[in-house]
Amino acid sequence: MDRIMDSPEDRLREENIPSFNPRPKVKQFTDPKLIKDPKKLNGWKWYHTRREYLMYHPYCAKCGNLGEEVHHVYPRHSHPHLIYKWNNLLTLCKECHKKEHREEEHQ
């Protein structure tokens, strides 16, 4: 079987392709204290959970507009074992999310 050789132009083209780094070196992704603290959901697990939840539930549960926030039905600080459970999440738009937190503060 003959081996196909790359031309010098192909090799030059490949060398000029910028490398893609999918994991940026940012403190919030590398500091284990920030990832384990339920008050600071900055880790990869929350990033992927939130992104996937919004793909399957794109609309606000209260008003029907496009949702941008993922709200925890049971608060993170009192129920840390439910942080990543989908049955504890709710998609809300920014306005409904603000209203929801205002109502929680008054109770």
Instruction: Indicate the residue type of 66.
Output: L
Verdict on whether the full-model pTM lies above 0.85: no
pLDDT by residue for the chain (107 residues), tens only, comes to 445 555 656 555 555 555 544 444 444 444 444 445 555 566 788 888 999 999 999 999 999 999 999 999 998 888 888 999 999 999 999 999 999 988 877 76
Distances (CA, A) of 106 to 32, 40, 99, 101, 103: 33, 23, 11, 9, 5
Q: What are phi and psi of 53, to 5 degrees?
A: -60, -40
The reported pLDDT for the residue numbered 24 is 46
Answer yes or no: are the C-beta atoms of 76 and 41 closer than 8 Å: yes
Residues facing residue 91 across a β-bridge = 70
